[in-house]
Structure 1
Amino acid sequence: MDKLEKAFYHDGFQLGMKASSPEMTDEKLFSALAEMYAAIDALTHSLHDFAIQQGQTIACKKGCEWCCHQPVFAMDYELSYLKNYIENKLDPEDQTQIKKRAAQKDEKLKPLKGDALLNAKHPCPLLNDGACMAYEARPMACRIYLSSNVESCLQFFKAPDDKNNYPALLDFPMRAGRILNEGFRAALKANNINVEEFRIEEKLV
């Protein structure tokens, strides 16, 4: 792990300790997660601005939803944050529709394993008219999935089993976000808090 990665891990660990030491409450957890998400969002915004200055582009924008049709995995504490947002920010009708779509997607993905699961293409239960209904509370995996070529995302959507097709993802934000989350998770485990990973729809049902 290089110095930069160690710094991200340290920051994530400190936020995880803030959330879970000496004991974890929803308020402490959600506050620490909001800080972590704000940090990775600031990083991706800076990369976006830098790319523009260099005459390059980040293809991701509202209305582009190719990545929102694949399985998304998140830690259970992230999904608690997401559920809290949904329950407090969205109206009851929207909540009912999200649960219905989550149950439908979960039923389709539950029997799948390995590549069959990873390459399955079904819309996220939070997707509505090309946008995320809980964008502010989306998990780390969604925040760091940034592509420089929308055509590569489209091809992966159309032919996920083709090993030559894969989105042109930016490596740095993906590594940074994962390492931040690793540090956060390690701090929770250090305080004897069990941590598991789930598909989004498994928790939304």
Structure 2
Amino acid sequence: MAPGNLSEHEKLFFEDGYRLGKEAAKHTKNEPMFLAYISEMYQAIDGLIDSILAMARKQNISVDCKKGCEFCCHQAVYANSYELHYLGNFIKSNFTNEQKDEAQQKAEKKNQKTSPLSQEQVLKYKSPCPLLEKGACSAYAARPMACRIYLSMKLSSCVEFYKNPDNPNNFPQLLDFPLTAGRMMNEGFTAALREAGTETAEFRLEEGLESVLKYGAKL
């Protein structure tokens, strides 16, 4: 059940995620089935974003995100443990051994830099994502929810946030609706897993990526 203090839209997205999480929780011993429900959640948010982008174009609303624009790929990204499991599975199935080793080394190196930092310092720290290759995500199909719902309406705001992270008055100008939808779906999915006794946790992407590539993803 969705928390009572949510708006109607928030409740709908929470309940969508919760429904998928309840089904996923039945298959924690069946990895392909479990991962399929995470994929279904990602497909739902991707479809919603496609609709939002189509509507934005009709209304002449600018969305500046495109392949090759990588400013957001240098900032902090957090992902849930089941998202990292999904990401690690994708990498192990689709990357060459050389690519896997390179991603692991980059994740380890970045994690060494960010681990000693406070959360405030992490949010200001700028360093390329371990999966960034030639201006694009090398695991785009399996990227976490946080990456999927990050849509900027003004490129200059992203550039400013990248170059001057200490400026307290500057934040990327993002579309609110995808952020809310994705966050609520993830919260619903997480709530259902925990209700069924499956623990989840949130990690910095480089921290979780190092773990799943080095030690193996565990449900």
Please give the TM-score of this superposition, normalised by the length of structure 1.
0.97
Q: CA deviation at 1:171?
A: 0.7
Letter in 2 for 1:35: E
CA–CA distance in structure 2, aligned partners of residues 24 and 76 of structure 1: 16
Determine which of 16, 26, 36 is the counterpart of 1:21.
Answer: 26
**Gap regions ≥5 residues in structure 2:** 1-5, 211-219
Pairs within 5 Å for 1:86-101: 86-101=91-106
Partner of 2:53: 48
Aligned partners of 1:30, 1:58: CA distance in 2, in Å?
A: 30
CA distance in 1 between partners of 2:121 and 2:73 (Å): 17
Q: CA deviation at 1:123?
A: 0.4
CA offsets per residue over residues 34-65 of structure 1, 9 Å max, x none? Answer: 00000000111111111110111111110000
1:194 equivalent in structure 2? 199
- Note closer, same or farther for the CA distance 1:26–1:167 as it changes in structure 2 (3 Å cut): same
Match of 1:39 in 2: 44
Read off the aligned partner of 2:187 and give its amino acid letter. E
Distance in 2, matches of 1:197 and 1:23, equals 18
Aligned to 1:160: 165
**Structure 1 position 114, deviation (Å):** 2.6
Structure 2 counterpart of 1:142, from 147, 169, 182 = 147
RMSD between aligned alpha carbons?
1.0
SS in 2 for 1:79: helix
Displacement of 1:23: 4.6
Q: Give the corresponding residue for 2:15.
A: 10
Q: Is the 8 A contact 2:27 2:33 kept in 1?
A: no
Structure 1 residue 65 and structure 2 residue 40: aligned?
no
Size of the alignment, in residue pairs?
A: 205
Tell me: CA distance 1:86–1:23, structure 2 relative to 1, closer, same or farther (3 Å): closer
SS of the residue aligned with 1:145?
Answer: coil
Q: Which residue number corresponds to residue 115 of structure 2?
A: 110
Which of 120, 125, 128 is matched with 2:133 structurally?
128
Q: Which residue does 2:188 correspond to in 1? A: 183
* 113-122 or 76-85, larger mean C-alpha shift: 113-122
User: Which segments of 5 or more consecutive residues in structure 1 lack a partner in the other structure?
Assistant: none
Distance 2:158 2:72 in 1: 7
Larger mean Cα displacement after TM superposition, 11-20 or 24-33 = 24-33
- Does the 8 Å CA contact 1:19/1:25 hold for their aligned counterparts? no
CA contact (8 A) 1:20 1:28 kept: no
Identity %: 47
Contact 1:20–1:29 (CA under 8 A) maintained in structure 2: yes
